[in-house]
Structure 1
Amino acid sequence: MTTETNAKTNAENATTAVYKVTGMTCGHCEGAVREELSALDGVASVAAVADTGLVTVVSAAPLDEEAVRAAVDEAGYELVGRA
């Protein structure tokens, strides 16, 4: 299997979850949340938007919500739950 095929297969099997996070007010906040969530095993990408408080996480498999909550807490914000 080529790397390109592997990437495509992984993308097809990816899980996307959207979470509501309170306390983000700027780009620095978005970066802090992105950094902490990106460190979780299996996370491929994170997009955080301070204006809406929404954080979209793409991962290889569904993430444990308590792990997500702990990462958001470590960044200094509060996870409300799935959006």
Structure 2
Amino acid sequence: MTADNTLNVLVNGMTCAHCVASVTEEISAIAGIDGVQVDLNPGGASHVTIRSASPIDAASVRAAVEEAGYALAGTPS
């Protein structure tokens, strides 16, 4: 199955591989998510790319990031 929808977000506060794992786990738990890729930027906003075959709900992504203990930087695109 090909992921046709992509959502890019910036996440503040991630500093290590454990942070990446926590955010990836929470976002991956959202129904329909096919993949999560994190470009860690310790000390700054980390770029997270989320892929899904169906439309991605930005509010669910925000909630998942917050559940992992982090915050989005700006509005998802």
Tell me the TM-score range normalised by the shorter chain: 0.7 to 0.9
Larger radius of gyration: 1
Picking from 66, 70, 76, the partner of 2:59 is: 66
Q: Scaled by the length of structure 1, what TM-score is found? A: 0.79
1:15 aligns with 5
Q: Scaled by the length of structure 2, what TM-score is found? A: 0.85
More helix by share: 1
SS of equivalent residue, structure 2 residue 49: strand
Whole-angstrom CA distance in 2 between matches of 1:42 and 1:60: 7
Identify the structure with bigger relative contact order (alpha carbons < 8 Å, sequence gap 6+). 2
1:27 aligns with 17
Provide the aligned C-alpha RMSD in A: 1.4
Query: Tell me, which stretches of 5 or more residues in structure 2 are unaligned?
Result: none
Total equivalences in the alignment? 73
SS of equivalent residue, structure 1 residue 25: coil
1:82 aligns with 76
Following TM superposition, where does structure 1 have runs of at least 4 consecutive aligned residues deviating by more than 3 angstroms? none
Aligned-residue identity in percent: 42
- In structure 1, give the amino acid aligned to 2:76: R
